[in-house]
Amino acid sequence: MNIKHSKLEAINLDAYYGDFHALKSINIAMEEKAVTAFIGPSGCGKSTFLRTFNRMNDYIDGFRIEGQILLDGRDIYTDDVRVDELRKEVGMVFQKPNPFPKTIYENVVYGLRIQGIKDKKILQETCEKSLQQAALWNEVKDKLDKSALALSGGQQQRLCIARALAIQPSVILMDEPASALDPISTAKIEDLIYELKKDYTIVIVTHNMQQAGRVSDHTAFFYMGELVEYAKTKTMFTSPKDTRTQNYITGRFG
């Protein structure tokens, strides 16, 4: 498949949890300012792979990788890379909305605060802008000082997206961001993804085939730790090459 500008890349990537070989020599390049979807049966390694891009697996005892992950052509696992700098560039949204037990405002500006930014004007402007980008501003602008835990699940997830946007990353990783939400909230998140890809490179894990079809430009199908097939989403859904892909997207296993 033709990639115009590759934002993220994995080269001969192997990942292990102790002795367990979770990802097997994966090679993939992902298009800048596009949505790439990871699909595959649960346990095939989608989350593990996604988390290698912001090094969230670093905290897991016994986890290690071989091979390379490149962001803008630069290896992010070399010793001179600072993980906090990397994560300013590569944001993440989790499966279950995980707002901090703080106010809506404090949730959004948290990433700035830990960078030492204290200027009230900057914080407030960033807060408004990020909430607007996350299509949440109108719903919460009158209660920024209320607890984020009082929001609905869908609002919480959009808050988590706003929180990620506030530190101006160029990549956003989303691990099944709508799987815990109702259909209406899910639709809102999908619309949002569509908007965001104008400015951001988005990688989304989903087990929902229709969702992958609706939101993504490219789709990668994983099976038991292997990248089986990677193609334009339309191509993959209309004419999958591998029989395993075929079986999966027609719902024969999963």
Partner 1 sequence: MTNSEKNRRKDKAFQVFGIFCTFIGLVVLAIFLIDIVIEGIGRIDWDFLTSLPSRRAARAGILTAWAGTIWILVLSALIAFPLGIAAGVYLEEYAKKTKLSNFLEINIANLAGVPSIIYGLLGLELFVRIMNLGGILLAGALTLSLLILPIIIVTTREAIKAVPRTIRDGSFALGASKWQTVWYQVLPASFGGILTGVILALSRAVGEAAPLIVIGALAYVPFVPSSPMDEFTVLPIQIFNWTSRPQAAFLTNAAAAIIILLLITFLLNGIAVYLRHRQQKKIKW
Q: State the residues that interact with partner 1 by CB under 8 A.
A: 54, 56, 59, 83-85, 87-88, 91-92, 94, 96, 98-102, 110-111, 113-115, 147, 149, 160, 163-164, 167
Q: Which does 48 bind (CB under 5 to 8 A by kind): partner 1, ligand ADP, Mg ion, none?
A: ligand ADP
Q: How many CB atoms lie within 10 A of CB 166?
A: 24
Looking at 5, 12, 60, 64, which residue binds ligand ADP (CB under 6 A)?
60
Query: For residues 130 and 219, which CB has a smaller minimum distance to partner 1 in the complex?
Result: 130
Query: For residues 144 and 228, which CB has a smaller minimum distance to Mg ion in the complex?
Result: 228
Q: Which does 54 bind (CB under 5 to 8 A by kind): Mg ion, partner 1, ligand ADP, none?
A: partner 1
Q: How far is the CB of 94 from partner 1 (least distance, A)?
A: 6
Q: Is 235 exposed, middle or buried (0-12, 13-18, 19+ CB in 10 A)?
A: middle
Query: For residues 33 and 207, which CB has a smaller minimum distance to Mg ion in the complex?
Result: 207
Query: For residues 45 and 99, which CB has a smaller minimum distance to partner 1 in the complex?
Result: 99
Is residue 107 at the binding interface for ligand ADP, with CB under 6 A as the rule? no
User: Do 8 and 53 form a contact (C-beta atoms < 8 A)?
Assistant: yes
Query: For residues 35 and 56, which CB has a smaller minimum distance to ligand ADP in the complex?
Result: 56
Q: How far is the CB of 107 from partner 1 (least distance, A)?
A: 9
Q: Which residues of 39-58 are buried (b: 16+ CB within 10 A; e: fewer)?
A: bbeeebbbbbbbbbbbbbbe
Q: How far is the CB of 77 from ligand ADP (least distance, A)?
A: 18
Contacts of 62 (CB under 8 A, 6+ apart): 16, 17, 18
Structure tokens at 219: 């789709």
Q: How far is the CB of 51 from Mg ion (least distance, A)?
A: 9
Query: For residues 1 and 83, which CB has a smaller minimum distance to partner 1 in the complex?
Result: 83
Residue ranges in 16-55 that form contacts with ligand ADP under rule CB under 6 A: 17, 20, 22, 40, 42-48
The structure tokens 């115009």 sit at 4
User: Do 140 and 171 form a contact (C-beta atoms < 8 A)?
Assistant: no
Where does this chain bind ligand ADP (CB under 6 A)? 17, 20, 22, 40, 42-48, 60
